[in-house]
Homo-oligomer: A and B are copies of this chain.
Amino acid sequence: MAEKAVFDHAGCVVCVDAERRFAAALDSKFYDVDVVHLGEDKARIAEAEAAGVKSVPAFVIDGNVYHINHGADLSALR
């Protein structure tokens, strides 16, 4: 079964690029990707923060955070 992967982003240029390069290109056999726009879905900022997300774009997979480059600090999205 595919594992859940949350891709947190904020619509920024760095985020959109990472979404295209990675979130959209991961094999669906491995991951079921949940793309979350934290700028539009502020209710999920707390979830990202609790997982350890410091900035976007970032993936959260099985409790681990993978920051890809740096688009925006999470604190800037509140």
Binding site for B on A (CB under 8 A): 17-18, 21-22, 24-28, 30-31, 59, 61, 64-69
Contacts and interface: CB of A to CB of B under 8 A. Distances in A.
B68 A67 contact: yes
Contacts of A24: 30
Given A68-B67, A68-B68, A25 B17 contact: no
A69 B70 CA distance: 10
Given A25-B27, A26-B26, A67 B66 contact: no
24 contacts: A17-B64, A18-B66, A21-B59, A21-B61, A21-B64, A21-B66, A22-B22, A22-B26, A22-B66, A24-B30, A25-B26, A25-B27, A25-B30, A25-B31, A26-B26, A26-B27, A27-B27, A27-B28, A65-B69, A66-B68, A66-B69, A67-B68, A67-B69, A68-B68
